[in-house]
Amino acid sequence: MNDVKKIENLIDDYATFADTRNAVSQLSLFTDNAKTVVFYPEKPNEPQVIEGSRALLDGFSGLNQYEKTFHFIGQKNVSIEDDNKASAYVYTIAHHLKNDSKGHKSLMVMYIRYNDILVKKNDSWYFLERDLHIDFIENRTI
């Protein structure tokens, strides 16, 4: 399997592990010193930095508040920089279904673009940094 395909699989695995609530496997896709930087639409110049394994694991586990999630991966542009470094630009639509205390369901849909920096170790690719840009959020009552 070529490097571009390996990176595309890594990106897909991230979404699959998020939707199956497998935070430990999701964390295994990152280097030990990885970070995620989240850019919210209401505060684009004040990103949230999530750095280190414990913080990343806590962030992934935050999806447990939702009844279901559905991360749809759109186009992926992967660039191999050298033998051990790559970047990717990924479009995602992330659906988050939640029940409130009265049994009403709501759906939060996030329109996301990821800027990824990836590194290769022992023939496997890992996220070193994921910049998560939330372009906008749509809230729906179901």
Residue 1 has pLDDT above 80, yes or no: no
For residue 37 the two structure tokens come to 């930087």
Look up tokens 């209401």; give the residue.
Answer: 42
SS3 letters for 25-63? HHHCCEEEEEEEEEEECCEEEEEEEEECHHHHHHHHHHH
Encode pLDDT of 10-60 as tens digits.
Answer: 999 999 999 999 999 999 999 999 999 999 999 989 999 999 999 999 999
Encode pLDDT of 65-120 as tens digits.
Answer: 999 999 999 999 999 999 999 999 999 999 999 998 888 999 999 999 999 999 99
pLDDT at 107: 97
Identify which of 140, 135, 40 has the alpha carbon closest to the alpha carbon of residue 97: 140
Q: Write down all domains in the chain, each with its CATH number in brackets.
A: 3-141 (3.10.450.50)
Distance CA 118, CA 27 (A): 14
Whether the Cβ atoms of residue 118 and residue 102 lie closer than 8 Å to each other: no
Whether the Cβ atoms of residue 66 and residue 97 lie closer than 8 Å to each other: yes
